[in-house]
Structure 1
Amino acid sequence: MIWLTLALILFIFQVATIMIAEYRRPSKGFAWLSILFLLPIVGFVFYYFIAREYRHRKMIRRRSSRDVDQKVHRHPLPVVKTIQSAEQFPNPAMRGETRLFGLLRSFPDAAVTVCNETTVLASAQETYRLMLQDIERAEHHIHMLYYIWNDDIYGRKFHDVLIRKALEGVEVRVIYDGIGAYSTPKGFWDGLRRAGGQVHCFLPAFIALFDKRINFRNHRKITVVDGNIGYVGGINIGDEYTGKDKKLGYWRDTSVRIEGDAALELQRTFMNDWELVCGERLPYSEDYYPKHGVAEGEAVQIVPGGPDTQWDMILEMYFASFISAKERIYVTTPYLIPDQSLLMALKTAALAGVDVRIVIPGIADSKLTLWASLSYVEELLLAGVRVYRYCKGFMHAKTVVVDTHFAMTGTANMDLRSFFSNFEINAAFFDEHIVRRFLEDFLLDLDNSEEIELRGFARRGRLQRAKETIGRLLAPLL
């Protein structure tokens, strides 16, 4: 009887701990409680090591306040041309979106820059070709940050060109994620280090586990060459992104190549992450923030997101753009696990007559996340949202198109992990010709997709519904 009482007290303690710690996010707390009921003690151990809130750590708070002080007062960025009012947008469709612009201006260190030239890239082959060309031309530095960097043909191809540039005297800095690139042998980087390049791991798995930060990953994909050319998007470094994965086949993804002020914003994000992983503060000098030749051009905003920031900027930009829609909202995402605000915004827009369409994968890289995504489909269809499954291969592009005034792409999936746990970075575009390019790509994706019809989807079997229930239950943790 004593052992039973002690076990009950221990279980109540575990439940109370989760309820108190997660009171701000009931859905996440409910998911962890479900795991706890299924796996007593073991579930709590997982919670202890995985679920800690990154942003509430005193060390991170001190670092954030210190960085703000230094960036604003001690290391001012070079002067870039920014938009100060909605009327300054070249795109007339954006000038009336004062609520959206009010949100854009509220983000610290995320200005809307106007001296940019953007190239939208719809495949890894095209992205890798241009990246390798730009890296070959580098004269001062090459900065690369990737969640995954595989030891395969393309992984070694980039590795070899970086070694060659390092031997030429170019500064080479690489960051990879400790979980995303966990399977890549540590010795893979020895050649680059011997050549003079610097390589660091973001939160190595063993350290992150015992520091209770293993759940917080750097999911960003950034390349910056000489401070004036930048790449950002959904593509990591590896053969699978070129369609060589036998299971997933053709890989559909989106990246952008940016010249101009927005490349400096990508540089700033990389430099902040570089300081975090190795403690070295690179100087805010003309070597890293050079003058560029883009005098006028497109309006671009680089939006970093992460668990150490005060605001959930990427989530808030999605929401603000959705509620600004009058004609269309087109979304591609590999994982459709929206929070309640985005779910409501999409449903409300569709009910108000906005053409809302979402493309998700037909082939899944994770069955659990696919079940979670499908668990949202029926209620979206009932509201008038049209949902499609991409059939040509694996849909990994993360894009949003709203009317003719807004488009966005980057590293963030439309899921709770990207909004609240991962370090992410997106780029938002406001010029009509760039938005039109994203729209054209989306329409091509529709041609390679199959629409989910409400009548047929509603007749799915009990087993499939049970899978979706499991996925929905665990969705806050995915």
Structure 2
Amino acid sequence: MKIFAAALCLFILQIIVILVLEYRRPQRAVAWLFLLFCCPPLGLLIYYFLGRDYRQSRKLKAHAAGTRRVLHDYAAERSQLITRMEDTGNPELSSHKELLRLLDGLSESLVTGRNASRILVNAGEAYESMLEAMESASEHIHLEVYIFRNDATGERFQDVMIRKARQGVKVRLLCDGLGSRKLGRRFLRPLASAGVETHFFLPSLASLFGGRFNYRNHRKILIVDGLVGFTGGINIGDEYLGKDPKMGFWRDTHLRLEGDAVYYMQHVFLKDWQLVSGERLSHPRLFPVHGCEGTEGVQIIGSGPDGEIDANQAMIFAAICAAESRIWIASPYFIPDPAILRALKNAVLRGADVRIIIPSKPDSALVYNASLSYLDNLLDAGVKFYRYRKGFMHAKVWIADGLLASVGSVNMDMRSFYTDFELSAVLLQPQRIEELANQFRRDLEDSETVDPYVFRQRGELARATEEICSLLSPLL
């Protein structure tokens, strides 16, 4: 009886701890309580390793404050900042002044006007453009990815980094400690010998015992000489070229940028580099004066648990609320929070065409079932869903009317919104927005419509699996 009473007290104590620490995030609290009921002896222990709030980290706060000066002194001074609607080059924005004001207040990265972008719609095209830019480097190469594979593609990037480092170019490589955990000494030793500096963001074992295992760096950034930048959904690996026999063809979107926006990508990289390496880089040569004559409006938005605002979630929510005619989304994972869910339903009610492309084949059964759990409710509301059939849909793209569009690493899920370190490029130029819209139309041709009637006929076991995964979805 005493053992039972002690166990009950421990169980109640665990419930109280989770409710106290997660009261600002009810969905996460429910998910953690569900896990606690499933394995009561280990609930608090699992929470310690996976659920602690990153925002409380003193190191994180110190590093974030220390690097704001880099942005103010270099990026802002060298950029043409957009503060007036007429400077965006987008007539549709003229009736949405509040949207531009919101974008301007979301993050340390501001809306800039002297940019030129190029949309890259597959890894083959992206890799060739990235490698070409790296070959041209004379000052520095900054590469930051979630996944870096030790395969043929990884070796191509390794060869270029080694060669450029030996030519005197400063090469810095930042990989996520979990996503790139398979990079071993055999791959890293030649990089180090050539002078390439490599660091891993929250290595698996250290982050597990530090209670930070659940927080990952999901950004994809390449910056060459502070003049050319790349971002999007593509990591470094053979599977992105469609060489994984399980996943097959890989549909992704990346972006090449020149101009002011590259300064802000550099700023994000420098913040991450300082957090991981302890080295504060702030030399003016990292922010050289560029000669880009482009006139595209672009904003780089970095978000993560180090920010006071969940900037990418706020940006997407605001754009959905502003859209009147269309909201088109492509994402491999669809686990929206209540605010995004409500905004999508409201958009349908006011007559917007809301279309969402998700994969037909999952790379994670747990996440895929969680995504499917949201379809019933949204299909009833009039949202149109499509399953991509040509291969695996990994692009992270969304389009709101002709107002703006986004390309980046941000999935339409709560992990990207609140837990992971992410980066997106918001495009304001009508031509780029329509280019993404045309690619979306081509993707629709390679997709099948999710018929609401047929979808509702799935079995009870499938429904139960989806509901369980939905309960856990805030943690996925």
TM-score, with structure 2 as normaliser = 0.98
Instruction: Find out whether 1:375 has 2:373 as its counterpart.
Output: yes
2-structure distance, mates of 1:313, 1:284: 27
2-structure distance, mates of 1:292, 1:308: 29
Name the counterpart of 2:131.
Answer: 132
1-structure distance, mates of 2:302, 2:129: 24
1-structure distance, mates of 2:72, 2:325: 43
2-structure distance, mates of 1:59, 1:45: 23
Name the counterpart of 1:25.
Answer: 25
1-structure distance, mates of 2:23, 2:289: 48
1:270-419 residue pairs with structure 2 within 5 A? 270-285=269-284, 287-419=285-417
SS of structure 1 residue aligned to 2:412: coil
SS of structure 2 residue aligned to 1:193: helix
SS of structure 2 residue aligned to 1:372: helix
SS of structure 1 residue aligned to 2:363: coil
SS of structure 1 residue aligned to 2:173: strand
Preserved CA contact (<8 Å) 1:78 1:289: no
Preserved CA contact (<8 Å) 1:77 1:284: no
Name the counterpart of 1:153.
Answer: 152
Name the counterpart of 2:56.
Answer: 56
2-structure distance, mates of 1:290, 1:303: 21
Preserved CA contact (<8 Å) 2:166 2:194: yes
2-structure distance, mates of 1:65, 1:235: 30
Cα deviation digits, residues 238-287 of structure 1 (max 9, x gap)? 000000111110000000000111111111111111111111111230x2
Cα deviation digits, residues 367-395 of structure 1 (max 9, x gap)? 01110110011111111110000000000
Letter in 1 for 2:439: D
Instruction: Find out whether 1:208 has 2:207 as its counterpart.
Output: yes
Preserved CA contact (<8 Å) 2:106 2:315: no
Name the counterpart of 1:12.
Answer: 12
After superposing the two structures, state which structure 1 stretch, 131-140 or 186-195, moved more.
Answer: 186-195
Instruction: Find out whether 1:234 has 2:233 as its counterpart.
Output: yes
Name the counterpart of 1:35.
Answer: 35
Name the counterpart of 1:105.
Answer: 104
2-structure distance, mates of 1:180, 1:17: 30
2-structure distance, mates of 1:39, 1:137: 55
SS of structure 1 residue aligned to 2:108: coil
The alpha carbon displacement at 1:87 in A equals: 3.0
Letter in 1 for 2:306: D
* Length, aligned pairs only: 476
1-structure distance, mates of 2:450, 2:223: 40
The alpha carbon displacement at 1:19 in A equals: 1.0
1-structure distance, mates of 2:57, 2:167: 42
SS of structure 1 residue aligned to 2:370: helix
SS of structure 1 residue aligned to 2:402: coil
Letter in 2 for 1:126: E
The alpha carbon displacement at 1:77 in A equals: 4.8
Name the counterpart of 1:245.
Answer: 244
Letter in 2 for 1:41: P
1-structure distance, mates of 2:265, 2:111: 13
2-structure distance, mates of 1:450, 1:185: 41
1-structure distance, mates of 2:301, 2:412: 15
Preserved CA contact (<8 Å) 1:75 1:284: no
Counterparts in 2 of 1:335 and 1:436: CA distance versus 1, 3 Å? same
1-structure distance, mates of 2:338, 2:371: 14
After superposing the two structures, state which structure 1 stretch, 114-123 or 52-61, moved more.
Answer: 52-61
Letter in 2 for 1:317: M
1-structure distance, mates of 2:148, 2:62: 31
Preserved CA contact (<8 Å) 1:154 1:239: yes
Preserved CA contact (<8 Å) 1:410 1:426: yes
The alpha carbon displacement at 1:7 in A equals: 0.8
Name the counterpart of 2:177.
Answer: 178
Instruction: Find out whether 1:264 has 2:256 as its counterpart.
Output: no
Counterparts in 2 of 1:76 and 1:294: CA distance versus 1, 3 Å? closer
2-structure distance, mates of 1:220, 1:186: 23
2-structure distance, mates of 1:9, 1:321: 47
The alpha carbon displacement at 1:295 in A equals: 2.9
2-structure distance, mates of 1:44, 1:314: 30
SS of structure 2 residue aligned to 1:112: coil
Letter in 2 for 1:280: E
The alpha carbon displacement at 1:296 in A equals: 3.9
Provide the identity percentage. Answer: 44
SS of structure 2 residue aligned to 1:113: coil
SS of structure 1 residue aligned to 2:216: coil
Cα deviation digits, residues 308-351 of structure 1 (max 9, x gap)? 10000000000000011111000000000000000100111012
Name the counterpart of 2:193.
Answer: 194
1-structure distance, mates of 2:427, 2:462: 38
Name the counterpart of 1:92.
Answer: 91
Preserved CA contact (<8 Å) 1:319 1:342: yes
1-structure distance, mates of 2:179, 2:77: 33
Preserved CA contact (<8 Å) 2:71 2:264: no
1-structure distance, mates of 2:71, 2:452: 52
Preserved CA contact (<8 Å) 1:71 1:77: no
Preserved CA contact (<8 Å) 2:330 2:397: yes
Name the counterpart of 2:441.
Answer: 443
Preserved CA contact (<8 Å) 1:386 1:452: yes
